[in-house]
Amino acid sequence: MPSDVGVARRPCLYFTRLTVSEEGAYFPADAHARTQLISESRDIPAVAELLDGYRDILDVDLFDELSSFKSSRADKRAFETGIYAAAAYCFERSSGVSPTCLAFYSSGVAPALLFSGVVSPSTYLRELLPFHDRNRECYAASACKVRLAQVRLEGDRDEDVETFIAETIRKHAFERRVYLKDRRGLHTTLIGGEEKPVLLVREAVCERFPSVLRRGAVLRLNEASAHLPFYDTEPLLQILDGVRFSPPRFTLIGVAGERVPAGCGDQEILRKLVIEAAFGLLDTGRALRVAREGADELVIVGSRRGAYLLRRPNTDAFGSFSFAFAEAAPDAATARSRKRSTALESD
């Protein structure tokens, strides 16, 4: 049984971004949780299909990789995608409850698509994974051309920081240089873009709202320009040509709050959901509000690091959340490290 969650009446499963590149370990990092996941999910037919797909196409035993971390593949997010999906299947069977909807953040879209049945393991590994891999290469390369930064600007709950940010961007004609990368509520927004304009916007916001400065508003240099329009995405779209998406088993909530109902077979809608999760600006606050309309509990599939942004008071549509697989709380040193390492809050 999932160890940190009771049976929810109407749960929304939320897939965090993939964090193996930052953690240097797969979710779940806790050895007991890994053993539990492996032992309880192997006989689930959908998980067996998942394992067969990874074995046939990538020549990897997914659960052996979860335990050993020995694959020579440099980017291990493809493996963690399968692990997230297996964890969701395990939660579904162990809890006896099917989620009312699925939501996700950035790279969390891939396991959500697998679990919902929008793509099969074969379709993901042969057709969708090349799209995600190439996208990551492109946005990483773009950061070598433009010095990028981001900063979370968080004020008090009754302050409209977001509107002031938008006005400041317009005032200085920064529309193509600074972006509202993730709207998490009127009082909290993650902005990103060229370093100097981002710094100027940060200074203006901190001067106007002392509460933002009090919370740190730490400027972080980006190693990549994910979810920022600093690279050409048109060639990437061709990779998706010919991909056939299946109707989802559950309602899907996109990264900006788009709602795709269960059973939707519209290829354009499903394709756009995938594209926005890879390229689009984020609105986590709206996504959670939309999810809350049909769910009464948020259950996390993913790591504590990935769930960090949900702990902020600006994304409290659900008030609290649980983990499908609870991991042991990190020690003090690890917790401090995780708290500092937020530069890639969206990958």
Specify burial of residue 59 (Cβ count, 10 A radius: 0-12, 13-18, 19+).
Answer: exposed
pLDDT value of residue 121: 98
The token duo for 202 is: 């940060």
pLDDT value of residue 318: 80
Q: Read off the pTM.
A: 0.91
Q: Return the H-helix or E-strand segment holding 321.
A: strand 321-323
Identify which of 212, 157, 211 has the alpha carbon closest to the alpha carbon of residue 185.
Answer: 157
Which neighbouring-strand residues pair with 282? 182
Name the DSSP class of 343. Answer: T
Identify which of 301, 295, 347 has the alpha carbon closest to the alpha carbon of residue 327.
Answer: 301
pLDDT value of residue 131: 97
- A 10 A CB-CB count for 214 gives 12
Identify which of 186, 166, 168 has the alpha carbon closest to the alpha carbon of residue 286.
Answer: 186
pLDDT value of residue 1: 45
Give the pLDDT of the chain (347 residues) as one tens digit per residue.
444 444 447 899 999 999 999 999 999 888 888 999 999 999 999 999 999 999 999 999 999 999 999 999 989 999 999 999 999 999 999 989 899 999 999 999 999 999 999 999 999 999 999 999 999 999 999 888 899 999 999 999 999 999 999 999 999 999 999 999 999 989 999 999 999 999 999 999 999 999 999 999 999 998 778 999 999 999 999 999 999 999 999 999 999 999 999 999 999 999 999 999 999 999 999 999 999 999 999 999 999 899 988 876 555 678 778 888 766 555 444 444 444 443 444 44
pLDDT value of residue 338: 45
Q: Please give the span between the terminal C-alpha atoms of the chain, in angstroms, as a whole number.
A: 30
Q: Return the H-helix or E-strand segment holding 141.
A: helix 129-142
pLDDT value of residue 319: 73
pLDDT value of residue 313: 52
pLDDT value of residue 8: 46
